[in-house]
Structure 1
Amino acid sequence: MHSVRPDPAESPIGVFDSGVGGLSVLRHIRAQLPHEHLMYFADSGHAPYGDKTEQFVVDRALAVTDFLLSRGAKALVVACNTATVAAIKAVRARYPELPVVGVEPGLKPAAAASRNGKVGVLATARTLQGQKFLELRQQISDASKAEFLLQPAVGLVDQIELGDLEAPAIAAMLEKYIAPLLDQGADTLVLGCTHYPFVKTGIERVLQAHARGDVTLIDTGDAVARQLGRLLEGAGLLRPTSLGGAAAATLRGYTTAEVSALAPAFANLLGLHPVVEKVAV
């Protein structure tokens, strides 16, 4: 008797980040592709990536990708700006057949949105120093004549990972990092790390305090989800929506730190309560 081969379209999408920041991307993926099974991997045991060497980030990205593929992933979303800049080339080289989507700071939409051509970019130091980012900046700067004002937000990811988004430490950091960009005339601000949309309210408070409510914020999570949908469709891997009695979309969480960190992040940031498992990867 022939065994029935599983339908690859029924396999889950793997989404990973150094911590909980990628949940901001996961939110967009669930909104746009609500029928897809998802796995979210928080490499919190090795976070943050922003102050690590490029080789360290490459090694982690490959290890996490291997793990997600072992759990059946049909596609991969690198929901971390630092890992995209440092490691997506290595991931694609190792797995040329795998649909892979990365996130990169939204310099192009920011340049288009800016009225005065001055764009502030808030990101980790590792992202801002990466070759991929520097090439992107040069290319868009040449094409648009936009001036990109770079601001490494040292320590902000660590604070967001702690979970208290209203903490005075976060408010102080946002003021410290955003005020100089406003002083230089930025009218558009790129949230160049997937953690930052979670403190959007705090960012808006800083803008209001400086009477700069006209500043446009650029979050690329929506564009990442759209690109993922296009890749899945092109590869014939979209899970059918009209499945009648088919199983509802599932979500599983994995972390290299404690479950007690990721589970509350799902609940507090997204209002979700998936099964979360600690793994050694």
Structure 2
Amino acid sequence: MQPPAPDAPILFFDSGLGGLTVLGPTRALLPRAPVVYAADYAGLPYGEKSEAELAARVPALLGRLVERYQPRIVVIACNTASTIALAHVRAALDVPIVGTVPAIKPAALLTQSGVIGVLGTVATVRQPYVDDLSARFAADKTVLRHGSPGLVTAAEAKLRGEPVDPAVIARAISGLRDQPRGGALDVIVLACTHFPLLADELEAAAGPDVQFIDGADGIARRIAHLTEGQDWPAEAPSGLAVFTASPERPPPPLTALLPFGIDRIETI
């Protein structure tokens, strides 16, 4: 296989803006990488869709995006899409694929109480993939799960400059705390890339005795490893954000994307 051209981008894919939390640490490691950030606003929220729908939708959409932008690597920066459709995407596309999975393994190493919370979308927390991660890496721990679709909406609103409803944050934390052994919870896995956008609010609601963990830094290191030795442009090019068209949800203001090195928006 020929090495990619220097201007071949890294394609980040998410249902919305949550994947920016993966793009950020990747930018820090690979500052000259060309970037296309794709958000499926027409399909948001993924957490409320069926497994069958996402298993069909995500590979088809990524196929269009790969054909259009010719990326060197695709990053599915979405836990829901990864836990449901990652194998389907890898079977369909002839390009390296990096997925996003809940950080249960590092959480199991962090916990002192033996009680871990997994906060994700409704679709993610019910996946057998999470069962498998829990069995492999946290078999001697209590792993509590809670699906919070309201946090996705709150994170999108926050990036638009809108206020975050404290009740949404409180419900997400109580959804873990109110379960048996929830009072001993000391580590929460943010199993949706949207949720680190609400880190300040979640940490304030959970209190100082709870640590939060997500997989963004590890994903960035994986991207850097897989592209090691490849050529990049001499200077960082401007990043592009692509949104699938949604009549209910226009793209966010460009000011929300500029801190991530994105200064162009397209709708497809």
> Is residue 2:200 matched to residue 1:167?
no
Shift of 1:66: 1.3
1:98 alignment counterpart:
95
Matches of 1:129 and 1:29 in 2, distance apart?
Answer: 28
For the pair 1:213 / 2:201, whether they are aligned, the reply is no
Is the 8 Å Cα contact of residues 190 and 219 (structure 1) preserved in structure 2?
yes
TM alignment of 1:27-46, pairs within 5 A: 27-46=24-43
Aligned partner of 1:261 in structure 2 is 252
Q: Provide Cα deviations, 1:86-116, integer angstroms capped at 9, x if missing partner.
A: 1000011112x42111111100000000011
1:89 corresponds in structure 2 to: 87
Is the contact between residue 122 and residue 191 of structure 1 (CA under 8 Å) also seen in structure 2? yes
Deviation, structure 1 residue 179: 2.9
Tell me if structure 2 keeps the 8 A contact 1:259–1:277. Answer: no
Deviations 1:180-237 (A, max 9, x none): 5345111001111000001101012112xxxx3021110211100101111222xx5x
| Unmatched 5+ stretches in structure 2 | none
Partner Cα distance (1:200, 1:77) in 2: 22
Matched with 1:274 is: 263
- The 1-side partners of 2:18 and 2:37 are apart by 11
- Contact 1:99/1:232 (CA < 8 Å) preserved in 2? no
Partner of 1:67: 64
8 Å Cα contact 2:152/2:194 also seen in 1: yes
Deviation at 1:250, TM superposition (A): 3.2
Counterpart-to-counterpart distance in 1, 2:123 and 2:220: 24
| Paired amino acid for 1:41 | A
| DSSP 3-state at the match of 1:122 | strand
How big is the shift at 1:50?
0.1
Corresponding letter in the other structure for 1:227: R
Aligned-residue offset at 1:26 = 0.7
Partner of 1:77: 75
What letter is aligned with 1:80? C
5 Å-filtered alignment, 1:197-236, equals 197-207=196-206, 212-233=207-228
1:111 touches 1:119 (CA, 8 Å); kept in 2? Answer: yes
TM-score after normalising by structure 2: 0.88
Residue 239 of structure 1 aligns to which amino acid in structure 2? D
Q: In the alignment, does 2:106 pair up with 1:115? A: no
Report 1:145-184 matches (<5 A). 145-163=140-158, 167-169=163-165, 171-182=166-177, 184=182
Cα-to-partner distance string for 1:19-71 (whole Å, 9 max, x where unaligned): 01111111111111111111000101110000001122122211232122121
SS in 2 for 1:181: helix
Matched, 1:239 2:239: no
> Does the CA-based 8 Å contact 1:259-1:276 persist in structure 2?
no
> 1:16–1:79: 8 Å Cα contact kept in structure 2?
yes
Offset, 1:264: 4.4
Q: Report percent identity of matched pairs.
A: 33
TM-score by length of 1: 0.84
Kindly provide the amino acid, as one letter, of the partner of residue 105 in structure 1.
P
The 1:165–1:135 alpha-carbon spacing in structure 2 relative to 1, beyond 3 Å, is farther
Residue-by-residue CA offset, 1:163-187 (whole Å, 9 max, x unaligned): 3577352x21111121353451110
Contact kept, 8 Å, 2:10 with 2:36, in 1: the verdict is yes
Residue type of the alignment partner of 2:70: G
Q: 1:14 maps to what in 2?
A: 11
